[in-house]
Amino acid sequence: MTLLRDRDLARAFDHASYTYDRLTALSPGYRTDLLRSARRLRLPRGGAGLHLLDLGCGTGASTRALLRAAPRARITAVDASSGMLRRARAKPWPAHVSFRHLTAEEVATAGKGPYDAVFAAYLFRNVTDPDGVLAAVRSLLRPGGRLAVHEYSLSGSAAHRALWTAVCRGVIVPVGTLGGNRALYHHLWRSVLDFDEAPDFADRLENAGFTGVRAVPVAGWQTGIVHTFLARNGSATTAEDGR
């Protein structure tokens, strides 16, 4: 089975949106890990006066994490799937959180930046041109702006690849099949195996012009499978750094 891309992937997420929150709730630490990654942006003053972008917000779990990490920031959340956005918008949000139907590739021209920080969770495996999307993110970030990418990106260890395949074959794909979403969850399995390993994605960030790139593994069973990648658009300014 080939990987899903672009409109086919968006349609698959539309279909899966009805059960997506219930399925992710079965994953130990799913929301905790998102919050930890959002907090690693280390945004000053609770985000007061800052404008943040949640790129690939899905049903809003990453948006909620970003809001908890920076409760005073203005947040714009975007996603390519209208079904996922519908679920996100149906949840209670403060007035300074808004949602837009955009693909990751469209944000450079329609993203209404600049932004002080960008949070992208489980996005880059799913785009056709990750380098193009990184260029778009850089164009939207203020100088010194921060990027956190929360992503399935394997460490390079054969043991971690084997563990991921075992979890997918034993749990993720069968559960997704019960929900009528086998193609999407098979895509999840294969896309992780085919995506950059953590050192390679860190190199991709540096090649895109980001500085201070770090890859931090998440805790728990996903250690070596999911990483938080942290970077900046150029050097930080004293006012933004808040340290």
CATH number of 28-155+196-241: 3.40.50.150
- Quick check: 240 and 48 in contact, CB under 8 A? no
67-94 burial string, b = 16+ CB within 10 Å, else e? bebbeebbbbbbbbbebbbebbeeeebe
Three-state DSSP at 89 gives helix
**Of all helices (H) and strands (E), which one includes residue 228?**
strand 226-232
Average pLDDT, integer, range 134-138:
96
What is the tens place of the pLDDT at every residue in 79-88?
Answer: 999 999 999 9
| Per-residue pLDDT reduced to its tens digit, 18-53 | 999 998 998 889 999 999 999 999 999 999 999 999
Q: Are 228 and 37 in contact (CB under 8 A)?
A: yes
Q: Are 5 and 194 in contact (CB under 8 A)?
A: no
- 28 close to 221: Cβ distance less than 8 angstroms: yes
pTM above 0.85, yes or no: yes
pLDDT digit string (tens) for 103-120?
Answer: 999 998 887 889 999 999
Q: Is the pLDDT of residue 238 over 50?
A: no
pLDDT reading at 142 higher than 50 = yes
With CA atoms as reference, report the closest residue to 112 among 74, 148, 150.
74
Work out the average pLDDT over 142-165. 97
pLDDT at 113: 84
Q: Is the pLDDT of residue 225 over 60?
A: yes
Looking at beta carbons, which pairs linking 175-180 to residues 24 or more positions away fall under 8 Å? 175/23, 175/26, 176/16, 176/23, 179/16, 179/19, 179/23, 180/15
Q: Is residue 149 scored above 50 in pLDDT?
A: yes
Which pLDDT belongs to residue 1? 56
The larger pLDDT score, comparing residue 179 to residue 195, is at 195
The whole-angstrom separation of Cα 62 and Cα 30 is 10
In the predicted structure, residue 16 carries a pLDDT above the cut 50: yes
Element (H, E) at 215: strand 211-217
Per the prediction, the chain carries an average pLDDT of 93
The conformational region for residue 33 under phi > 0 = left, psi -120 to 50 = alpha, else beta, is alpha
Contact (Cβ atoms closer than 8 angstroms) between residue 231 and residue 211: yes
Classified as helix, coil or strand, 70 is coil
pLDDT at 112: 81
Task: For residues 157-186, give the mean pLDDT.
Answer: 92
Q: What is the percentage of the chain residues whose pLDDT exceeds 70?
A: 96
Per-residue confidence (pLDDT) for residue 109, from 0 to 100: 85
d(CA 158, CA 221): 15
Average pLDDT over residues 89-109: 95
Q: What is the pLDDT of residue 242?
A: 38
From residue 128, how far is each of 5, 7, 26, 171 by CA, in Å? 7, 11, 28, 27
Alpha-carbon distance of 91 to 66, in angstroms, equals 15
